[in-house]
Amino acid sequence: MTGLDDVIGLILAGGRGRRLGGQDKAFLTLGEETLLVRAIARAKPQVGELLINANGDLSRFAPFGLPVIEDRIGGFLGPLAGIVSGLEWIRENRPHARWLASFACDCPFFPLDMVEHLIAKAESESASVAIAASHGRHHPVFAAWSAGLSVTSENVLCDQGLRKMDDFVARFPNTRVQFPADPADPFFNINTPDDLARAEALLTL
């Protein structure tokens, strides 16, 4: 049975926030806390160790006291670059770990029991990847990835030219876990000022 020590968490915080005027999403304020503070609070109890994936000036994350890893391949290639970088980091630094659990910092309501359900489903079906789903959609940035996946940034992003998460997931045995979407979708994400306003309203539910 997988324990917390076997799971490394990775918060993806490398988005450029184009539809938010180029603002750093991780530091947008919702209620009285930034999105990154909220993500850390929800993710940390679910994993044995938590990392942040980001690009640019990494010193802005120093106050959080968590390891920060950059994409191995630059150019803002999307969340897949962060996931593969996380798997490479585990291989080099935490070879005992069995799973990488990934989270997006712009989804402030993701489930507090997400990781245990993803890993339980993956192990019961001998799947290498378990993806969260809700409201008829799946959310591949919220997933549990087997630490044994033999992938590198160069192979995935350069040799194979992959960018889409679904294309990457399809290369491995995978499964989905449905999460309730009532009263609100737990994987609602913030991309625009209107989304941020909606998230503020959801805080009162």
Positive or negative: CA dihedral 129, 134, 137, 142: negative
- The Cα 150–Cα 159 span in angstroms is 14
- The Cα 131–Cα 125 span in angstroms is 13
Q: What percentage of the chain exceeds 70 in pLDDT?
A: 95
pLDDT tens digits for range 50-104: 999 999 999 999 999 999 999 999 888 999 999 999 999 999 999 999 999 999 9
Q: What are phi and psi of 204, to 5 degrees?
A: -90, -5
Residue 102, Ramachandran bin (φ over 0: left; ψ between -120 and 50: alpha; else beta): beta
The owner of tokens 């889409």 is 164
Q: Which residue has the higher pLDDT, 14 or 196?
A: 196
Positive or negative: CA dihedral 157, 173, 91, 109: positive
The mean pLDDT of 143-148, rounded to a whole number, is 98
Total domain count for the chain? Answer: 1
Q: Does residue 150 register a pLDDT over 80?
A: yes
| CATH classification of the domain holding 31 | 3.90.550.10
For residue 26, what pLDDT is reported? 94
DSSP for residue 156: I
For residue 1, what pLDDT is reported? 65
* Mean of all residue pLDDT scores within the chain: 94
Domain that holds residue 45: 4-77+84-202
Q: Are 13 and 53 in contact (CB under 8 A)?
A: yes
Q: Look at residues 85, 39, 84 and name the one whose alpha carbon lies nearest to residue 61.
A: 39
Positive or negative: CA dihedral 65, 3, 83, 91: positive
For residue 205, what pLDDT is reported? 67
Strand bridging mode 68-69 / 49-53: parallel
Q: Look at residues 60, 31, 152, 54 and name the one whose alpha carbon lies nearest to residue 104.
A: 54
Counting Cα atoms < 13 Å in the Cβ hemisphere of 62 gives 4
Q: What are phi and psi of 131, to 5 degrees?
A: -110, 135
For residue 22, what pLDDT is reported? 65
Positive or negative: CA dihedral 159, 98, 107, 33: negative
